[in-house]
């Protein structure tokens, strides 16, 4: 059957085989999306740290600008991927194309040159556009319009998203930071290919794949972890969740897999011709994405990201004594980058198209679309604040959160003594204690570390491609600045660790000598283990797995009494909770010790509040789009939902720059005591802004609830 120019699936949701009341095909999509998100979140956990600590050597400003542009573009392309699926290829084909492109992108991340780095991001941007909106839309396609299980179905699907998000930092993050960035990205590549195989394989093969990959993941997580209490608890929880999920999925798929009619091409007779057109478009689009995400840096002769508003306009604003004007300068500079302008143009096109379509609809359909528009606007602010966790929060965890579980603290009896510590996890060095984050911001009584820092800097820079190496003048200035700083900085530790991972490093280069002084007593922890900062990215996902079904049961319980909050109220609650989460970080910075280190429990409280907020908005938002949008536009509106998220990510990248700790766009990270309140001041402002946005959304709720026409049937549907 055709409605407008799009074919609606002939599958009757009521006839599909089920398990626990949900279509068995949901569990195929659960694992396909889980592995795709494993690859995505594995890459995200490493990306900012890779840019600031890896071969690229970016400062905070450049790293967060690239991260914001990448995340924005990766959420912009689903608008077009949804439209292509609706009108040309169908959702199934789009998902396969997206998976292959993303696998290629993760693979290219293993090649350490700037051109291939940005090319990898280009493939990932294109691939996500095809994959993300269409696999989500296929979930909605398996539920009837009046189904009361749709919201809980999306929540189960969302748990799959976050199971992948929890496994990724525990494996990709830990292995990438500990053994080498390219190994972490290699795991992400494998994850994407597994997700694609689960989606396309016959039902029996899918069951075998789920069993084998779950087993391999369990073994890997138990083998590779920091060994501290937090890591072990996290690992056992995720392992248990994965085993249960695999058993449920295999049981469900014994009753039947993903129905063939779900996600079919709208015009099968034109599929081959349309596929050729789309592949040709992809070949053209990927280089464009590479140019946009790099800000044209990949073009020979271009050293910095291009901004289309002249420096003569921006510089006076940057030099202003007014904080508001200086802040506005950051927004103007970032918004004038090519990616920002393309995003704005895409948003304008999408807005005009959807408003035009909405105005042609009946009253009920039109007002429901207005609800989608308004709640999408509030979602932009939610995701702009929420997505700090992948950029500034990642840096904050790396630099200012105590991630070490030590055996004991340095005592007076240690003063004057000298110990050797290891920089890598190689077997022949494991008898030595690790040169951990505990030594940040402290004085070393031994001067032997100074020439070692210089050698590490020179060797790491020499290993980079020629265009990325520091000029000799800047190299000498960097070495001099780090050597004259009496206290150890994160930049010095990073160079020492990165050189120690290189094949050219000798055994002595993989060890550090430290002589204790009076200043170290009672502050430096000895022994134990250090939790990689990227592993904290798993906390949000673990809380979602833990609380997702709890909140689903709560909504169902309240719904049975007619007391379940409506979508607008849930959106308002989500914004307020995000504000409270940033409040936890702010209070944590106020409670920091004299070294500028914050207890990790403040960060965990932050992630807990972010999780409850996310569960009030994200799965509800996905369900809202499929529920309130006309069937003929559901993938396009889903793409618009992700386009709004793209705006949020670009905004998040700009906000993260206010938390930059490098002076003048440099790359040296000061000691923790000098950075802790930079982060605290930014997060205090975000806490206030998010709570205010939540209160405004709550005030609009009565009108939005009226426009949703709950329980009414659109006669023109």
What is the pLDDT at residue 146?
64
Q: Does 33 have pLDDT greater than 70?
A: yes
Domains with residue ranges and CATH for the chain: 2-15+22-295+337-399+533-708 (1.20.1250.20), 404-530 (no CATH)
What's the pLDDT tens digit per position in 577-611?
A: 999 999 999 999 999 988 899 999 999 999 999 99
Query: Whole-angstrom Cα distance, residue 47 to residue 515?
Result: 34
Instruction: Please report, for residues 75, 131, 380, 569, 586, the alpha-carbon distance to residue 645 in angstroms, rounded to integers and kept in the order given.
Output: 6, 16, 6, 20, 25
Query: Three-state DSSP class for 254?
Result: coil
The confidence score (pLDDT) of residue 148 equals: 67
Token pair for 623? 């369900």
Tokens encoding 156: 């189960």
**pLDDT tier for residue 7 given thresholds of 50, 70 and 90:** very low
Tens-place pLDDT, residues 566-575: 889 999 999 9
pLDDT for 6 equals 39
What is the pLDDT, as a whole number, of residue 715? Answer: 64
Contact between residue 137 and residue 92 where contact means Cβ atoms under 8 Å apart: no
Supply the pTM of this predicted model. Answer: 0.82
Closest CA to 81 of 278, 284, 242, 323: 278
Through-space distance between the first and last CA atoms of the chain, rounded to whole angstroms: 14
Lowest mean pLDDT segment, chosen from 137-146, 165-174, 240-249, 654-663: 137-146
Taking only the tens place, the pLDDT of each residue in 438-482 is: 899 999 998 889 999 999 988 888 887 777 778 888 888 888 888
- The tens digit of pLDDT for each residue in 273-289 reads 889 999 999 999 999 99
419 Cβ contact list (under 8 Å, min separation 6) = 433, 513, 514, 516
For residues 140 and 666, the model is more confident at 140
Q: Report pLDDT for 717.
A: 56
Sheet arrangement for strand 511-515: 433-434, 418-422, 511-515
Look-up: residue for tokens 């992700």?
642
% residues pLDDT > 70 (the chain): 93
Contact present, 693 and 381 (Cβ < 8 Å): yes
Closest CA to 592 of 400, 343, 323: 400
Q: What is the model's pLDDT at position 665?
A: 56
Query: Any residues with CB less than 8 A from the CB of 557 and at least 6 apart, and which?
Result: none
Q: What is the pLDDT of residues 402-427, one digit of tens each?
A: 988 888 888 999 999 999 999 888 88
- 482: Cα separation from own chain's centroid: 32
Residue 13 pLDDT > 80, yes or no? no
What would you measure as the largest C-alpha separation in the chain, in angstroms?
84
pLDDT at 417: 92
pLDDT digits (tens, 9 = 90+) for 81-102: 888 888 888 888 898 999 899 8
List, for residues 293-348, the tens digit of each pLDDT value: 888 887 777 767 777 776 777 777 766 666 667 667 777 776 677 777 777 787 78
Tell me which of 340-344, 375-379, 695-699 is least confident.
Answer: 340-344
Nearest to 245 by CA among 137, 151, 174, 164: 164
Decide if pLDDT at 11 tops 90.
no
């Amino acid at each position: 059957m055709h409605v407008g120019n799009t074919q609606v699936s002939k599958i009757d949701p009521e006839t599909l085989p089920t398990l626990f009341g949900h279509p068995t095909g949901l569990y195929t999509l659960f694992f396909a999306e889980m592995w795709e998100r494993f690859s995505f979140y594995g890459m995200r956990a490493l990306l900012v740290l890779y840019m600031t600590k890896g071969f690229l050597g970016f400062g905070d400003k450049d790293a967060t600008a690239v991260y914001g542009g990448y995340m924005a573009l990766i959420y912009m392309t689903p608008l077009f991927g949804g439209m292509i699926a609706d009108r040309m290829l169908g959702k199934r084909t789009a998902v396969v194309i997206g998976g292959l492109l993303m696998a290629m992108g993760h693979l290219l991340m293993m090649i350490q040159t700037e051109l291939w780095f940005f090319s990898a991001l280009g493939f990932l941007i294109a691939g996500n556009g095809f994959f993300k909106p269409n696999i989500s839309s296929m979930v909605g396609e398996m539920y009837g319009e009046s189904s009361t299980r749709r919201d809980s179905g999306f929540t189960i699907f969302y748990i799959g998203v976050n199971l992948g998000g929890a496994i990724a930092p525990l494996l990709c993050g830990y292995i990438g930071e500990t053994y080498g960035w390219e190994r972490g990205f290699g795991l992400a590549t494998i994850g994407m290919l597994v997700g694609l195989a689960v989606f396309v394989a016959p039902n029996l093969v899918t069951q075998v794949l789920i069993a084998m990959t779950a087993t391999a993941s369990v073994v890997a997580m138990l083998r590779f972890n920091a060994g501290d209490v937090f890591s072990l608890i996290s690992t056992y929880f995720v392992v248990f969740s994965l085993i249960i999920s695999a058993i449920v999925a295999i049981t469900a798929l014994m009753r039947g897999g993903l129905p063939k009619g779900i996600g079919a091409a709208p015009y099968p007779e034109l599929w081959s011709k349309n596929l050729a057109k789309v592949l040709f478009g992809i070949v053209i689009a990927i280089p464009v994405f590479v140019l946009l995400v790099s800000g044209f840096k990949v073009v020979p002769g271009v050293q910095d990201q291009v901004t289309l508003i002249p420096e003569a306009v921006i510089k006076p604003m940057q030099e202003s004594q007014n904080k508001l004007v200086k802040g506005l300068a950051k927004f103007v500079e970032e918004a004038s980058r090519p990616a920002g302008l393309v995003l704005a143009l895409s948003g304008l096109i999408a807005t005009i198209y959807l408003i035009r379509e909405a105005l042609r609809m009946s009253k009920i359909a039109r007002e429901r679309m207005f609800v989608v528009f308004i709640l999408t606007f509030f979602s932009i602010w939610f995701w702009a604040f929420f997505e700090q966790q992948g950029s500034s929060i990642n840096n904050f965890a790396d630099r200012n959160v105590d991630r070490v579980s030590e055996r004991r603290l340095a005592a007076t009896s240690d003063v004057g003594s000298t110990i050797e510590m290891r920089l890598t996890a190689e077997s022949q060095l494991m008898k030595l204690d690790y040169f951990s984050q505990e030594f940040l911001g402290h004085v070393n009584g031994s001067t032997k570390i100074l020439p070692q820092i210089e050698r590490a800097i020179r060797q790491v820079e020499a290993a980079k491609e020629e265009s990325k190496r520091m000029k000799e003048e800047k190299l000498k200035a960097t070495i001099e600045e780090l050597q004259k700083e009496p206290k150890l900085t994160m930049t010095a530790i990073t160079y020492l660790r990165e050189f120690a991972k290189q094949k050219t490093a000798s055994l002595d280069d993989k060890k550090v000598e430290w002589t204790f002084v009076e200043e170290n007593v009672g502050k430096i922890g000895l022994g134990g283990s250090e939790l990689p900062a990227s592993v904290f990215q798993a906390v949000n996902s673990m809380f979602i797995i833990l609380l997702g079904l709890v909140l689903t049961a709560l909504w169902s319980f309240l719904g049975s009494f007619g007391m379940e909050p409506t979508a607008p109220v849930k959106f308002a609650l989500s914004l307020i909770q995000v504000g409270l989460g940033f409040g936890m970080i702010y209070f944590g910075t106020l409670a920091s010790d004299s070294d500028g280190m914050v207890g990790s429990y403040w960060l965990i409280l932050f992630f807990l509040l972010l999780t409850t907020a996310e569960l009030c908005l994200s799965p509800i938002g996905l369900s809202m789009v499929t529920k309130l949008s006309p069937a003929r536009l559901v993938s396009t509106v889903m793409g618009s939902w992700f386009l709004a998220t793209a705006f949020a990510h670009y905004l998040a990248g700009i906000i993260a720059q206010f938390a930059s700790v490098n002076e003048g766009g440099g790359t040296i990270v000061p000691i923790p005591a000098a950075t802790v309140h930079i982060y605290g001041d930014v997060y205090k402002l975000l806490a206030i802004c998010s709570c205010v946005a939540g209160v405004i959304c709550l005030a609009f709720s009565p009108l939005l609830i009226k426009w949703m026409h709950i329980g009414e049937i659109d006669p023109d549907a």
